[in-house]
């Protein structure tokens, strides 16, 4: 089976169970959003996939082969971490050259072009980069490797709005020209929602949602109105959460909606991915 197949992975850190029997399949040539609150287990899952840490139970298969300590498979994945694992005294351009050594498909010209686009000074040492430019450096490296599986853990950390916008555009361009599997773990869901086509939500070390973005969004809707109207409308429905302001109430609901049976006084609107995420992970 192609893609990344995570089978029944569990991981503990002392008494804390970070992942509880997680199973998920990341298919080829799709952009995934791996979403979860702080400490939900997103980075732990990505670190296990890339073999940086070991799972207590379970296994990871990539293109049907066990990924753990498998050099051929590890050469197909590149993970951009929140933390920097490059030597701090190394210059950016040297880091690109070394990346080419480990990832023969690394495109030095593309890395140079992106560096110019993002105004990254490649003569600088990595330790002298700001948080934003450190993210830019890691993101450029990740996109230039031409790896089949690119894992981005908080890729837009410290980036200003202009650079974030440029990042999403670059990501889409890259994906359109050279499709690969990209997994983005981020907190900025509203922004990332435009680029991801599949959503995996992790909560307290368990996968609670694993479906396409459009399907997921189509299942959720918002019902607003007076408190009494909303209460009678939501009776028997799967209500994720509610907000009240004065006599008005808003309910966040999961499930099919028969638009012909919406009572008067109830206003129905679509739920965006961020709201859906908040309600799903709060529930």
Backbone angles phi, psi at 224, to 5 degrees: -120, 150
CB of 65 to another protein, least distance (A): 13
Please report, for residues 20, 68, 79, the alpha-carbon distance to residue 141 in angstroms, rounded to integers and kept in the order given. 32, 23, 10
- Based on the shown chain and the rule CB under 8 A, indicate whether residue 170 belongs to the binding site for another protein: no
Helix/strand/coil (H/E/C) assignment for every residue in the chain: CCCEEEEEEEEEECCEEEEEEEEEEECCCCEEEEEECCCCCHHHHHHHHCCCCCCCEEEEEECCEECCCCHHHHCCEEEECCCCCCCCCCEHHHHHHHHHHHCCCCCHHHHHHHHHHCCCCCCCEHHHCCHHHHHHHHHHHHHHCCCCEEEEECCCCCCCHHHHHHHHHHHHHHHHHCCCEEEEECCCHHHHCCCCCEEEEEECCEEEEEEEHHHHHHHEEEEEEEHHHHHHHHCCCEEEEEEEECCEEEEEEECCCCHHHCCCCCEEEECCHHHHHHHHHHC
Among 5, 34, 35, 47, binds another protein (CB under 8 A): 47
Q: Pick between residue 73 and residue 202 the one whose CB is nearest to another protein.
A: 73
16 vs 10: CA distance, rounded Å: 11
134 vs 129: CA distance, rounded Å: 5
Among 18, 40, 77, 156, binds another protein (CB under 8 A): 77
Binding region for another protein (CB under 8 A) out of 2-10, 65-73, 157-165, 271-279: 65-73
Q: Pick between residue 117 and residue 187 the one whose CB is nearest to another protein.
A: 187
Q: Pick between residue 101 and residue 119 the one whose CB is nearest to another protein.
A: 101
Applying CB under 8 A, the site for another protein has a residue count of 26
Contact map string, positions 6 to 45, toward another protein, x by CB under 8 A: ----------------------------------------
Q: Pick between residue 44 and residue 170 the one whose CB is nearest to another protein.
A: 44
Among 54, 65, 265, 269, binds another protein (CB under 8 A): 54
Contact map string, positions 115 to 134, toward another protein, x by CB under 8 A: --------------------
CB of 90 to another protein, least distance (A): 8
Contact map string, positions 79 to 118, toward another protein, x by CB under 8 A: x-x-x-xxx----------xx-xxxx--------------
CB of 105 to another protein, least distance (A): 12
Tell which residue, 28, 5, 9, has the closest CA to residue 182: 28
Contact 37, 221 (CB under 8 A): no
Q: Pick between residue 77 and residue 193 the one whose CB is nearest to another protein.
A: 77
CB of 133 to another protein, least distance (A): 18
CB of 60 to another protein, least distance (A): 14
Q: Pick between residue 79 and residue 273 the one whose CB is nearest to another protein.
A: 79
Q: Which residues bind another protein (CB under 8 A)?
A: 47, 50-54, 69-71, 74-75, 77-79, 81, 83, 85-87, 98-99, 101-104, 147
């Amino acid at each position: 089976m192609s893609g990344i197949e995570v089978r029944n992975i569990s991981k503990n850190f002392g008494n804390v169970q970070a992942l509880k029997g997680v199973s998920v399949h990341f298919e080829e040539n799709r952009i995934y959003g791996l979403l979860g609150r702080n400490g939900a287990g997103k980075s732990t899952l990505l670190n296990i996939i890339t073999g940086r840490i070991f799972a207590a139970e379970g296994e990871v298969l990539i293109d049907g082969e066990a990924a753990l300590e498998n050099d051929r498979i590890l050469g197909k994945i590149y993970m951009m971490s929140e933390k920097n694992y490059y030597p701090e005294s190394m210059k950016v351009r040297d880091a690109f050259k070394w990346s080419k050594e480990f990832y023969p498909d690394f495109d030095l010209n593309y890395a140079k072009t992106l560096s110019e686009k993002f105004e990254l000074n490649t003569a600088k040492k990595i330790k002298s980069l700001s948080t934003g430019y450190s993210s830019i450096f890691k993101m450029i490296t990740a996109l230039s490797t031409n790896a089949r599986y690119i894992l981005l853990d908080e890729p837009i950390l410290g980036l200003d709005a202009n650079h974030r916008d440029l990042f999403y555009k670059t990501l889409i361009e890259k994906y359109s020209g050279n499709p690969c599997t990209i997994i983005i773990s981020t907190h900025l869901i509203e922004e990332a929602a435009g680029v991801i086509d599949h959503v995996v939500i992790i909560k307290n070390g368990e996968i609670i949602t694993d479906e396409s973005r459009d399907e997921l969004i189509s299942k959720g809707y918002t019902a607003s109105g007076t408190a009494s109207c909303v209460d009678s409308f939501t009776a028997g429905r799967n209500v994720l959460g509610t907000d009240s302001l004065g006599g008005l109430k808003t309910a966040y609901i999961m499930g099919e909606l028969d638009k012909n049976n919406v009572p008067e006084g109830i206003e129905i609107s679509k739920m965006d991915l961020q709201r859906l995420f908040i309600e799903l992970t709060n529930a």
